[in-house]
Structure 1
């Protein structure tokens, strides 16, 4: 009896630590760090070392991140800015810590826990959105205007000002919103329910997130949402019957995105004056006025130039941005020099840091994960990877702890959604 009670308490503590990670994810980074620490302690205490090691080394994604981390450590041998290199290693320690935690999760995971993790995460994301909107209302009342600064990004209900209370970049926060939306959409049309939410509750959450996404003023988040909607419609709306009421509600809510989008007008302002062909093909990066596309063109061109000069092992994790700024100067991209931009592309950033070896590992992780998701028809993982690829192409995601946490958590959790792993372990025939 006592042994049974101990097992129950151990399982409860472990599940609590994992749920705490999911709940903390949309909120402040210090909460993320606390939750990771608690989950790591629970893993090391409650899971047998042999089983933990076995689960870790047999997981291709875990091993890949471990190898990438080793390559980053080795790059310190030829990097000059060691102090910054150690900072990079510090935040990238999650490359090892989070896979270790999920090597332990594999011993406890079942369909109930998997669904509970996603449910808590979605509710936490919705609460974080409400917190952002509440502070936007408070700021509007305080200043007596929605946009007292009269700037395209000065609206309290959009972009940086909207997520300022969480001290996080709107795009990083937006990944939580878009992925939550994708899970809810899949749940709405799937024959199997893991969230245990009513159809009305699902529609309320979906409607809320659809309306919130345009406020974040990110073209990539809008594109991600469109792709996920398209895949969902193709796979489910066409092949399965869905009540017309749901379709009508969804259509109405999507239409609401239009006035919300134009009320913020940041993206419209950001893309004013864009000559698509000229901005993509130009090699003249002089001057101070830049469209979004022209600035990204300059970053990509300078990053590729740097990679061409250091293709094998890169420049090391301490010197990436410093060396890139030199190439901004060579290309007369003084705007980038002043701002100290990184490449804003994680694939290029990894190549700059660790050369072809590190890039190959990161590329393999995505190829393997995509192949696995398609083969297993794991739509949770597939949707997350679609969002992540666009995220990685436009941001140096693994340069921020927030980005590392989001990506490592879900790329470790979602592959566990396999029927044979999610069957309750006490199930009898």
Structure 2
């Protein structure tokens, strides 16, 4: 009877399962990355399409699991578990929906087969896409300049809009920049794209990202570039001098002065208020509604209230719950009487920590902090093991960025990080990663 059933089963036409097309996978992965700067709906749609395509074309033999891909999932599971102890259930539940990419993107990468060429093509098309974005932003800035005569349209948030955020765009552009920097056989258009992206990142004026990019670029030419030793040092010297000159005359100089000398005439003129020094941010018991915190002093103030919160509340291991620390930040803001905002400006007591390490510690405790550190450690270790400069640059870029931004607590940030993290740390189907980039 069993033999008859088996024979009959074999005689029936087998249902055809869609075959995974490598080009389609690359297209969808690139689409997810390139829609990040657009309206959130576009990013959600492309992510859904990428996920559905991977699921419908998945094959058992393509499945692969690794600790690296499990770590983002573990972080999401901890976020979900924080619903059990959060001090603000509604805020945690709402924030959890933005963190779903930490769960679904690693699953997608677990069930797809990834060849070295697919990885390279994804980075290539993404990088050229960012170059096109940069052209668009510059063209739009020129149009605005001719209409208003205001040169500020070429710098910082005015260049890309505050909603998209100049710091975030700097990060998106930096990965593209490193692709062109590390490309072995560069053509004229590659050099053009490299130079244009670097100038564009400079105009965005994100001090942290710009400094990281400069250091990584110098390190590449000193230790990874195939050029002669003399050419390496010549380039490094000329490059460093050019950066210093450009920084001295540019917007970067103004922004650095405001950070290091908050009581300068420029800072007071910009805000029309009294600027708070770093020492005051750490020591003053109370502030006035006219006190202005620059980026550095505000982050010092936030580190201070974080230490106060940890000493006052028994949440060391678990934190307050995903996105729930905002309630305690507000309470601390009221206690220290920081600026509470008005109809046009947000108050300091409504802003999150702007530091991913502190943010995750406050929300998810020591456990969440350790998960993040393990994930960053794996990312850096794999980059160094593979001797892949773009991967290494991405790893250091994220480590530096997390010092000044709660990147993973934003939808654009979590999608960008998780896709590239999985792309770099997915075990490639080829046993040896090809070193040459097309």
Q: TM over 0.5, yes or no? A: yes
1:257 to partner: Cα distance: 7.6
Q: What SS does the corresponding residue of 1:307 show, helix, strand or coil?
A: helix
TM-score normalised by L of structure 1:
0.82
Contact kept in structure 1, 2:69 and 2:426, CA below 8 Å: no
1:391 to partner: Cα distance: 0.7
Q: In structure 2, do the counterparts of structure 1 residues 45 and 338 end up closer, same or farther at CA, with 3 Å as the change threshold?
A: same
Q: In structure 2, do the counterparts of structure 1 residues 383 and 331 end up closer, same or farther at CA, with 3 Å as the change threshold?
A: same
Distance 1:120 1:242 in 2: 32
Q: In structure 2, do the counterparts of structure 1 residues 361 and 279 end up closer, same or farther at CA, with 3 Å as the change threshold?
A: same
Contact kept in structure 2, 1:133 and 1:162, CA below 8 Å: yes
* Equivalence for 1:283: 283
Contact kept in structure 1, 2:317 and 2:365, CA below 8 Å: yes
Are 2:89 and 1:82 equivalent residues in the alignment? yes
1:268 to partner: Cα distance: 4.2
1:62 to partner: Cα distance: 2.3
What runs of 5+ residues in structure 1 fail to find an aligned partner?
A: 148-154, 188-192, 424-429
The partner residue of 1:405 within 409, 412, 415 is: 415
Distance 2:425 2:241 in 1: 30
Contact kept in structure 2, 1:82 and 1:318, CA below 8 Å: no
1:338 to partner: Cα distance: 2.2
Segment drifting more, 323-332 vs 414-423: 414-423
Distance 1:82 1:164 in 2: 32
Contact kept in structure 2, 1:114 and 1:417, CA below 8 Å: no
TM-score normalised by L of structure 2:
0.81
Q: Deviations over 1:336-385 (max 9, x none)?
A: 99231111111111111111111111111111222222223232221101
Contact kept in structure 2, 1:22 and 1:120, CA below 8 Å: no
Distance 2:74 2:398 in 1: 21
Q: What SS does the corresponding residue of 1:172 show, helix, strand or coil?
A: helix
Greater CA radius of gyration, 1 or 2?
A: 2
Are 2:52 and 1:41 equivalent residues in the alignment? yes
* Equivalence for 1:338: 347
Q: What SS does the corresponding residue of 2:354 show, helix, strand or coil?
A: coil
The partner residue of 1:329 within 328, 334, 337 is: 334
Are 2:223 and 1:235 equivalent residues in the alignment? yes
Are 2:16 and 1:15 equivalent residues in the alignment? no
* Equivalence for 1:150: none
* Equivalence for 1:213: 201
The partner residue of 1:184 within 176, 180, 185 is: 180
Structure 1 stretches of 4+ moved >6 Å: 5-9
**Number of matched pairs:** 396
Q: Deviations over 1:198-230 (max 9, x none)?
A: 432221111111211121111101111122123
* Equivalence for 1:172: 168
Contact kept in structure 2, 1:307 and 1:351, CA below 8 Å: no
Q: Pairwise CA RMSD of aligned residues?
A: 3.2
